[in-house]
Amino acid sequence: MANVKFFSGKSLPLEMHKVRIVQKLNLPPVEKRQFLMNEAGNNTFLLQNRDVFMDMLTDSGVNAMSDLQQAAMLRADDAYAGSETYNRMVTKVREIFGMEYFLPVHQGRAAENILATALVKPGDVVPMNFHFTTTKAHITRMGGSVEELVIPEALEPINDCPFKGNFDIPRLEALIQKVGPEHIPFVRIEAGTNLIGGQPLSLQNMREVSAVCKKYNIRLMLDASLLQDNLYFIKAREEACKNMTIREITAEISALMDIIYFSARKFGFARGGGISMRHQDDELRMKEFIPLYEGFLTYGGMSVREMEAIVVGLDESMDEDIISQGPLFIQYMANELHKRGVPVILPAGGLGCHLNASAFLEHVPHEQYPAGALAAALYIASGIRGMERGTLSEQRNEDGSERYAELELLRLAMPRRVYTLSQVEYAIDRVEWLYNNRHLIGGLNFVEEPSVLRFFFGRLEPIGDWQDKLVAKFREDFGDSL
């Protein structure tokens, strides 16, 4: 990786690219932002992009493409069947992951649908380091259940553990012995655990999980959607891997797995996805679902232009200079906020900077959704759209009671190659101001609550007039500033 030091002694992340296409941004006045937030049901998913200044909702499908990706899109072969674009994509995926069999899908949750439909039956248990919302929903839809087996350090907001996404190996083996390997269709590893701060797991831990799976003859599956961040962290933080290339680390990880699926909206800087398999019987079991749910076997619901971009993007995901920028920008933002006393998840993971909403809003109880309230407050204060990753993102228990999240987080995602350091500094400034005025922020109540994946399109209202007070304080401190 490029090692660039500043003569001043400052430690700043440096963009290893130049910007050649720009998009104009809009920052509505604070009073308008309050109105828009309530029009959107205090759910940042329901905001219109034209009303968002910095879109830090997700890094899924919003990463900037490179010049080489955009150029590659022009040679797409749009044949319905037998496309040369597909041939190029499957060749590249085989090169990266070393697996013979591949099925294309339009994004990661489409892969989860097919995997759950093909492999999970009622009563099955799927162990994983930590769940993702759509993964869990697909497994429970098929009558299965999820067991989270991440190490205890993962749920501590701040500690020195470099790999908080690691599996607790003794708990994994104990679970297999308890339920029986015949009731475990696969063990799922999530690289860069999304809901606990984008925390990575080590190559050594993956080896240990693989050894347990081989002992009991259980499939090992990797969700590689956030793999690029995890690859960077392995090289940067795992002593035994410091002299390995990103491709070598990827090959070692792949050799441990039976199935690897990914969303190219994250891993590959484009929009699509796929499932790679080591064994033909797994491919045959899932193959029939591609035409049923996705499209034909040589495009899987993807645009061929996007497939060409993925081919280039997968190569770029093996470039340390490219994949390091996200983690370095996130680390900078998290460390700067920590210096200012703002509670964040440390060490910084991938995907985005995660604010610890439970500590940020200690006075807002779980049942009033502190992470969701913080997301609404931040938009009002800044025009920044983040994503709630707390109790709102959970499903209710069968009896209708809330399942409170282990961590109440507001994720400020860092789309790759999109924002400059000055924009990151703006975000830091507004978060710090909000923390200094946190006593003004209250909770939220549901007014429309879907039964599944409610965080996507549920609508809420503020409890009391706290948003009016926040706007008044903003005007007092910032005057006529946007």
Residue from 133, 135, 250, 298 carrying the catalytic annotation: 133
Distance CA 188, CA 128 (A): 5
Residue from 5, 75, 78, 80 carrying the catalytic annotation: 80
Residue from 86, 132, 167, 419 carrying the catalytic annotation: 132
**Neighbour count for residue 216 (Cβ, 10 Å):** 15
Is the CB of residue 166 less than 8 Å from the CB of residue 201?
yes
Q: What is the three-class DSSP state of 126? A: strand
Query: What is the distance, to the nearest Å, from the Cα of residue 122 to the centroid of all Cα atoms in its chain?
Result: 28
Structural Rg of the chain based on CA atoms: 22
Residue from 51, 59, 223, 229 carrying the catalytic annotation: 223
- The two three-digit tokens of residue 349, written as one number: 């993971």
**Comparing C-alpha atoms, which of 308, 366, 341 is closest to residue 83?**
308
- The two three-digit tokens of residue 203, written as one number: 């190559």
Q: Is 389 designated active site?
A: yes
Q: Is 193 designated active site?
A: no
Q: Is 455 designated active site?
A: yes
Distance CA 230, CA 200 (A): 5
Q: Is 235 designated active site?
A: no
The number of helices, as runs of H, and strands, as runs of E, in the chain is 19, 14
Residue from 266, 416, 438, 454 carrying the catalytic annotation: 266
Q: Is 214 designated active site?
A: no
Residue from 379, 419, 435, 455 carrying the catalytic annotation: 455
CA distances from 148 to 119, 154, 167 (A): 19, 11, 9
Question: Is residue 272 within a helix (H) or strand (E), and if so which, with residue range?
Answer: none
**Comparing C-alpha atoms, which of 129, 126, 99, 125 is closest to residue 205?**
129
Residue from 33, 235, 389, 438 carrying the catalytic annotation: 389
Is the CB of residue 129 less than 8 Å from the CB of residue 200?
no
Positions marked active-site: 80, 132-133, 223, 266, 389, 455
